[in-house]
Amino acid sequence: MTLFDLTGRIALVTGSSKGIGHGLARGLAEAGARVVLNGRDGARLAIAAAGLTTGGQSGVETAAFDVTDPGAVAAGIEEVEGRVGPIDILVNNAGMQFRAPLEDFPVERWSELMRTNLDSVFYVGQAVAKRMIARGRGKIINIASVQSELARPGIAPYAASKGAIRQLTRGMATDWGPHGLQINAIAPGYFKTELNQALVDNPDFSNWLAQRTPARRWGEVRELVGAAVFLASDASSFVNGHVLYVDGGITACL
């Protein structure tokens, strides 16, 4: 089990004041990592960090910066490494959703969604990878989606952004793998989060999902933790450019 031990490692998780990011941060902390929570709202981050500390996790830090602003990212990563230490694990989790028929999808929403879901992964990934490359080691975990493979009505731009994450993950592994880095992605299925609350509350959708998914239910955020710890640890030392679907089987069947 020492293969999965993250003691002494520093993990930065973007978009981690709530939802999947917060759940993954908790899981990495439970595995021994010193976790840095990231988001734009410092007050919300402080509350999230206090929640983890109350839950028994120690060494929780925060770093408030906008992952869609390359200048803020550069300054933020420099500040984290100077104050907390070298980042061993990066989880690119920050993301957003906006639903509308594609023919009516607002152009400004397209730009906002791509900045948040795709550009941020490049900005933060590049800034952290430059430092990891110099050290000859590092783990980057991007958060993809079942929409990296599948489409649903009303979310074509989101699916496009997550399809790009799948390919960016492979590109990162191709370029940075020779320098000792492992870059992989977790692709969640349908999980009970604030992002999906409208769908969770919709009985028609929940019934459809139960019939469509072999597991016959929504996922719980804690069920993503094992995948994150695996990809963040020495257990995955020869896994690179892989997209790990944690989806109850929804991508395996028609």
pLDDT tens readout for residues 211-249: 999 999 999 999 999 999 999 999 999 999 999 999 999
**pLDDT score of 195:** 80
Q: Over the range 165-179, which residues count as b (16 or more CB within 10 Å of their CB) and which as e?
A: bbebbbebbeebeee
Q: Which residues of the chain have pLDDT under 50?
A: none
**pLDDT score of 215:** 97
Kind and range of the H or E element at 134? helix 120-135
What's the pLDDT tens digit per position in 118-135? 999 999 999 999 999 999
**pLDDT score of 232:** 98
**pLDDT score of 54:** 75
- 27 alpha-carbon distance from chain centroid: 13
- 101 alpha-carbon distance from chain centroid: 26
Q: Tokens 């925060």 appear where?
A: 62
Cα R_g (the chain), whole angstroms: 17
Q: Which domains does the chain have, with CATH numbers?
A: 2-247 (3.40.50.720)
CB neighbourhood size of 11 (10 A): 27
| Residue 241 neighbours by CB under 8 Å, 6+ apart | 169, 170, 172, 173, 174, 177, 183, 184
Spatial CA neighbour of 63 closest among 54, 53, 72? 72
The catalytic residue positions are 158
Share the mean pLDDT of the chain: 96
